[in-house]
């Protein structure tokens, strides 16, 4: 299986994994809009054991 590189758009946090995501969701409901302060909320679920490395480029 190939390595998947993932990161925040700003580059503050990135990681690598060989496992595919378990679940990907995007929600536009009012509750998620209020919680995030944005038009939608996106998340990706992965197994914690699938992370090869987590790199922080600066503190969040």
What is the per-residue pLDDT across 10-52, written as a single tens digit (0 to 9) for each?
Answer: 877 787 777 788 899 999 999 999 999 999 998 888 887 776 6
What is the span of the domain harbouring residue 33?
4-56
Q: How would you label 25-52 residue by residue, b for 16+ Cβ within 10 Å and e otherwise?
A: eeeeeeebeeeeeeeebeeeebeeeeee
The number of folded domains in the chain is 1
φ, ψ for residue 39 (rounded to 5)?
Answer: -75, -20
CA distance 37 to 24: 20
pTM, two decimals, is 0.52
For 10, what's the count of Cα atoms within 13 Å in the CB-facing half-sphere? 7
């Amino acid at each position: 299986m190939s390595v998947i590189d993932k990161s925040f758009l700003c580059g503050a946090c990135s990681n690598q994994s060989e496992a595919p995501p378990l679940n990907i969701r995007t929600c536009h409901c009012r509750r998620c809009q209020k919680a995030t302060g944005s038009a939608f909320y996106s998340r990706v679920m992965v197994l914690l054991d699938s992370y090869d490395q987590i790199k922080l480029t600066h503190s969040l």
